[in-house]
Amino acid sequence: MENRVLGLHHITALAGNAQRNFDFYSKTLDLRFIKKTVNFDDPGTYHFYFGDEVGSAGTILTFFPWGDRIAQGRRGAGMATEIGYSVPKGSLDFWIKRFDEQNVIYNKPAVKFGEQYLTFIDPDGLKLELTEVENDARKPWITADVPSEFAIRGFHHITLTLNSKTATAAVLTDIFGYHLQQQDVNRFRYVTDAVESAAIVDIVEIPSEEKGRGANGTIHHVAFRVKDDAALMEFRQKIAASGLSITPQIDRQYFHSLYFREPGGVLFEIATDNPGFMVDETLEDLGKGLQLPAQHESKRAQIEAILPTIS
Ligand code: ZN
C-alpha cells in the first residue's frame, strides 16, 4: 500500500507566560498536559505539549512559552491563522458558559460548511475554534470539569491564510493526497480521505492581506502525520523533487521530522507516529516531570534553575 499523509500530526504555536499558557490549555480547555520538555534548540525555554490521553497524532498542540520578553505577533498572510478543534454536537452552550465564567474572549457561534462553530482567543491572542461534529469517534481526555459529552476530541482543521492559494494547494493535492472538497467565497476546504479526523486544511485566499508577523499568539508551524521513517523519507524525496528545499530527518525525541516552507510561506513539518510520547514516561505519568533529550541531560540543574516553576 502506498504511504500517505495521515492528516495533521501536531501544531506548534508561540506563547508568553508559561504558567498562563499551562492553565489555559490544561484547565480551561481541559486538554491533557502530556509533555513538559524544552525547546531543543534553546533549552532555556519550555516546550509544552497538550493532547488526548496518550498524545495521539491529530490532537497535539504544542507551545514555546517565551515568557514576557516575547513581542506580540500578528496574524496575516503566509501563516497558519486558526486552529480548529472538534467537539460533540450540542456542546457549544457548555463552552460558552465556561468561557463566560473564565473571561475567555469569544465570538457568537456561526456556521461554516454546514457546521456550527465558536471562535475564541487564548490569553496570548492565538485564534482557535470549536466546531460541532456529528460523529467524531476519538476518545477524549476527560476530567470532572469537562465531561465526555462536551470534551474536545482533537483537531478538526487548520486554516492557512495566503495571498495566493495555487502553489500551496498543489502541495496539498499533488504531494499530500488531499482534494478540494468545497469552497465558500475565498475559503477553500481541502480534505484527505486517508484518515477519519484531523483531515482538513482550509485555505483562505486574500491577495491584499499583509504578511503576518510570527511572535506571541501566532502559529509557528503545522506538522502533518506519516506512519513511520520509511514514509517520511519517501515524502522527503517527493518534496525535494518538486523543487522545494527540505531539511534532513531530525530526531524530535517523540517523533522524527522534516521541515520545509511551502510556497505560500507557511512552515510545514512532516512527523512520524514513532516512537511516541511513552518513550520517556509511562502513560500515567505523562507530563509530570521535566523531560530532557540526551544532549541536554548533563545541564539539567542549570536548565531547571532558569525555567519558571509550573503548577
Ligand atoms: Zn513541530
DSSP β-bridge partners for residue 112: 115
Three-state secondary-structure class, residue 50: strand
How far is ligand 1, taken at its centre, from the CA of residue 68, in Å? 22
Calculate mean pLDDT across residues 175-185: 98
Q: Measured between alpha carbons, how far is 277 from 286 in angstroms, rounded to an integer?
A: 8
> Distances in Å between the alpha carbon of 235 and those of 62, 96, 259?
23, 41, 11
Q: What is the tens place of the pLDDT at every residue in 12-51?
A: 999 999 999 999 999 999 999 999 999 998 999 999 999 9
Ligand 1 centroid–CA 28 distance in Å is 23
Q: What is the pLDDT of residues 92-123, one digit of tens each?
A: 999 999 999 999 999 999 999 999 999 999 99
* Residue 183 confidence (pLDDT) above 90: yes
Question: Ligand 1 centroid vs 61 CA: distance in angstroms?
Answer: 9
Specify the residue for cell string 525555554: 45
Starting at the edge strand found earlier in the chain, the sheet holding 79-88 runs: 110-112, 115-121, 127-133, 79-88, 154-162, 200-205, 187-191, 179-184
Long-range contacts, 137-146 (Cβ 8 Å, 24+): 137/196, 137/197, 138/52, 138/56, 138/58, 138/59, 138/86, 138/197, 139/52, 139/53, 140/52, 141/30, 141/31, 141/32, 141/51, 141/52, 141/53, 143/30, 145/27, 145/30, 146/30, 146/94, 146/98
* Cα(130)–Cα(120) distance, integer angstroms: 8
Compute, in angstroms, the gap from residue 205 CA to the centroid of ligand 1.
24
Please tell me the distance between residue 251's alpha carbon and the centre of ligand 1 in angstroms: 11
Quote the ligand 1 centre to 236 CA distance (angstroms).
Answer: 16
State the distance from the centre of ligand 1 to the C-alpha of 114, rounded, in angstroms: 31
CA of 222 to the centre of ligand 1 (A): 7
The mean pLDDT of the chain is 97
Q: What is the mean pLDDT of residues 72-90?
A: 98
Query: 68: pLDDT confidence band, cut at 50, 70 and 90?
Result: confident
Distance 109 CA to ligand 1 centre (A): 30
Tell me the chain's radius of gyration from C-alpha atoms.
18
Residue 204 Cα to ligand 1 middle (Å): 22
- What is the distance in A from the centroid of ligand 1 to the CA of 283? 21
Ligand 1 centre to CA of 255 (Å) is 9
Q: Which residue carries 511516541 as its cell?
A: 276
CA distance 61 to 222: 10
Strands 219-226 and 267-275 come out as parallel
Contact 179, 200 (CB under 8 A): no
Q: For 188-216, how does the pLDDT look when each residue is reduced to its tens digit (9 = 90+)? A: 999 999 999 999 999 999 999 999 999 99
The reported pLDDT for the residue numbered 1 is: 61
Q: How far is the CA of 41 from the centre of ligand 1 (A)?
A: 12
Q: How far is the CA of 57 from the centre of ligand 1 (A)?
A: 12
In whole angstroms, give the CA distance from residue 131 to residue 120. Answer: 11
CA 267–ligand 1 middle distance (angstroms): 9
269 C-alpha vs ligand 1 centroid, how far in Å?
6
Q: 10: CA distance to ligand 1 center in Å?
A: 6
Neighbours of ion ligand 1 (CB under 5 A): 12, 223, 269
Alpha-carbon dihedral sign for residues 86, 91, 96, 99: negative
DSSP 213: B
Domains along the sequence of the chain with CATH: 8-306 (3.10.180.10)
Q: How far is the CA of 63 from the centre of ligand 1 (A)?
A: 10
> Which backbone phi and psi does 94 adopt, to 5 degrees?
-60, -45
Spacing, Cα 25 to ligand 1 middle (Å): 18
pLDDT tops 90 at residue 279: yes
The CA 36 to ligand 1 mean position distance, Å, reads: 15
